[in-house]
């Protein structure tokens, strides 16, 4: 059985990564579009064989409640709009998959969770790496003890933000829409990975932020962030995020029996794993999977089986809470207990 999905926001990620990957889904099919641009929606509906009656605008979106073909609404809008559209979707009686970061404040995250609970509907946050085979394999190796006792993690996420060249970057440098800079957008991958690799919640964060005050891109949002998470077992995770270094999306786990590199850790494809131990290095040849289809099907299956998804709203809220603590630590110049 396939559940019907609606996409809200037909931007770069929705059109280039999500919509084309429904083809590999076994339990999810695209049935509706929600867009502010009727022409774009009509063209895409034709391309994907969707009925014109299943195209919604932001204004008439709430009437999606009367459309039994739509089971799940996938929110792919700028960060600060996630809360409003998740809540409206829940009130329309729909399950929701919402992009990362869940929202731009802890309060909004809580309101989203409450709205979904009240409606008796599922809310999942789109942490695609938690559905990606290389990351899942790394977690399995760590849990089995292959790397011994984990002592340290490093993870870096950076890319060049180009607000004047790329429309998808224009809102990313506006605080009101993005909520923050590189940390909210991509540093969140390092943060989330440190948590799923350790399987622990941090107890303390420390951070420094630096942005070139003469660079017009960083008038409202931060550029470079260096943050450290301290976990109860003693593991330290030292992470960076940036909007001004050439693309890096990597992570390394250091254990007392070996280390494991994922470089990239969080790309759309072409993942790579290396493991180093006292007796040498290996490069396990894992099969690349479709993380987007796996993620969407996971939610569809959870809905059909009435199970809580692996990355529910509470998971998104935790990261937003840690992100706020990272900002606070950088602002106050001291460690923050979380």
Please confirm, yes or no, whether 118 is among the known catalytic residues. no
Stretch that binds ligand NAD, among 9-17, 26-34, 215-223, 297-305 (CB under 6 A): 9-17
Known catalytic residue at 307? no
50-89 footprint of ligand NAD as x/- string (CB under 6 A): --------------------------xxxx----------
- Which DSSP string corresponds to 106-162? HHHHHHHHHHHHHHT--EEE--GGGG-HHHHHHHHHHHHTTT-SEEEEEEEEE----
- SS3 state at 237: strand
φ and ψ at 336, to 5 degrees?
A: -120, 125
Q: Smallest Cα–Cα separation from 4: which of 27, 38, 35, 36?
A: 27
Interaction of residue 12 with ligand NAD, rule CB under 6 A: yes
Q: How far is the CB of 173 from ligand NAD (least distance, A)?
A: 12
Shortest Cβ contact with ligand NAD: which residue?
A: 11
Measured in residues, the chain has a length of 338
Tokens (6 digits) for 51: 């009925």
Q: What are phi and psi of 55, to 5 degrees?
A: -100, 125
Contacts of ligand NAD in 184-203 (CB under 6 A) = 185
Q: Does 13 bind ligand NAD (CB under 6 A)?
A: yes
Closest distance to ligand NAD from the beta carbon of 280 (Å): 34
126 counts as binding ligand NAD under rule CB under 6 A:
yes
Considering just the CA atoms, what is the radius of gyration of the chain in Å? 20
Tell the residue number behind the tokens 């396990």, with chain if given: 284
- 189, 243, 322, 327: the catalytic one is 189
Pick one of 36, 38, 199, 284: the residue that binds ligand NAD (CB under 6 A): 36
Catalytically active residues, by annotation: 100, 189
Contacts to ligand NAD by CB under 6 A: 9-14, 36, 76-79, 99-100, 126, 128, 167-168, 171, 177, 185
């Amino acid at each position: 059985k396939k559940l019907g999905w609606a996409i809200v926001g037909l931007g770069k990620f929705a059109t280039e990564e999500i919509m084309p990957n429904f083809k590999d889904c076994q339990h999810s099919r695209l049935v509706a579009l929600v867009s502010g641009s009727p022409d774009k929606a009509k063209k895409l509906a034709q391309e994907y064989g969707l009925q014109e009656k299943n195209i919604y605008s932001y204004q008439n979106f709430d009437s999606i409640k009367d459309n039994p073909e739509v089971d799940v609404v996938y929110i792919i809008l700028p960060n600060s709009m996630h809360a409003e559209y998740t809540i409206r979707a829940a009130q329309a009686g729909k399950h929701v998959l919402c992009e990362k970061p869940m929202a731009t404040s802890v309060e909004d995250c809580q309101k989203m969770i409450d709205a979904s609970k009240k409606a008796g509907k599922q809310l999942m946050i789109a942490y695609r790496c938690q559905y990606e085979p290389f990351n899942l394999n790394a977690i399995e190796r760590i849990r089995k003890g292959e790397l011994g006792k984990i002592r340290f993690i490093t993870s870096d996420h950076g890319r060049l933000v180009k607000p004047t060249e790329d429309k998808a970057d224009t809102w990313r440098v506006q605080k009101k829409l993005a909520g923050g800079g590189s940390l909210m957008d991509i540093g969140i991958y390092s943060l989330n990975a440190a948590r799923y690799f350790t399987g622990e919640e941090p107890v303390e964060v420390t951070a420094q932020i630096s942005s070139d005050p003469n660079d017009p891109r960083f008038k409202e949002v931060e550029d470079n962030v260096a943050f450290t998470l301290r976990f109860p077992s003693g593991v330290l995770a030292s992470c960076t995020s940036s909007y001004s270094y050439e693309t890096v999306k990597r992570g390394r786990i250091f254990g007392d029996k070996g280390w494991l590199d994922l470089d990239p850790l969080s790309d759309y494809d072409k993942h790579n794993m290396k493991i180093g131990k006292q007796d040498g290095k290996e490069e396990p040849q894992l099969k690349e999977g479709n993380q987007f289809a796996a993620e969407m099907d996971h939610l569809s299956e959870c809905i059909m089986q009435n199970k809580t998804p692996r990355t529910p709203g509470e998971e998104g809220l935790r990261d937003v809470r840690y992100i706020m603590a990272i900002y606070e630590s950088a602002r106050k110049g001291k460690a923050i207990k979380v």
